[in-house]
């Protein structure tokens, strides 16, 4: 007998004897446990993985911000140095005159 035939036969036979317990299950008086849901929300703590991910993300943002601002910082310092050098040069040329 082929696999498919065997499985088809098994399925047909088991399905034919499947009981219907829907009505019995639905009519049973059941009180869903509601407190557990509240406890989950109150006691929920971020997982260790979530904490590390957040810390890593903050570090990356800080690094990129610093890298973006670096040209401005360097540019300002170079500009200041240039201004001081030019002032000194002009002073010395005035003296020579």
Partner 1 sequence: MDKRELNKCLIRMQYGDDRAFEKVYNLTNKGVFSMCLSIVKSYAEAEDMMQTTYIKVREKINYYKPNTNGYAWILTITKNLCINEYKKRKREHVTDFDENDFLVTSSDNTAQFDIPIFKLAKKVLNENELTIVLMYAVSGYRHKEIAEILDKPLGTVLWSYNNALKKLKAQLGAN
Stretch near partner 1 under the rule CB under 8 A, chosen from 11-19, 61-69, 76-84, 85-93: 11-19
The one among 37, 54, 57, 64 contacting partner 1 by CB under 8 A = 37
Based on the shown chain and the rule CB under 8 A, indicate whether residue 44 belongs to the binding site for partner 1.
no
Query: How far is it, in rounded angstroms, from Cα 1 to Cα 9?
Result: 11
Q: How many CA atoms lie within 13 A of 61 on its CB side?
A: 6
SS3 of residue 22 by DSSP: helix
Q: How many residues of this chain bind partner 1 (CB under 8 A)?
A: 28
Q: Where are the beta strands (DSSP E) in 1-97?
A: none
**Shortest Å distance, C-beta 40 to partner 1:** 8
């Amino acid at each position: 007998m082929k696999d498919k035939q065997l499985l088809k036969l098994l399925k047909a036979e088991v399905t034919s004897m499947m009981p219907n317990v829907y009505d019995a299950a639905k009519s049973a008086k059941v009180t869903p446990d509601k407190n557990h849901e509240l406890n989950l929300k109150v006691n929920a703590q971020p997982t260790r993985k979530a904490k590390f991910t957040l810390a890593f993300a903050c570090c990356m943002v800080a690094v990129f911000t610093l890298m973006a601002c670096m040209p401005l910082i360097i540019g300002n310092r170079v500009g200041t140095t240039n201004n001081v050098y030019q002032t000194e040069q002009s002073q010395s040329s005035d003296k020579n005159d």
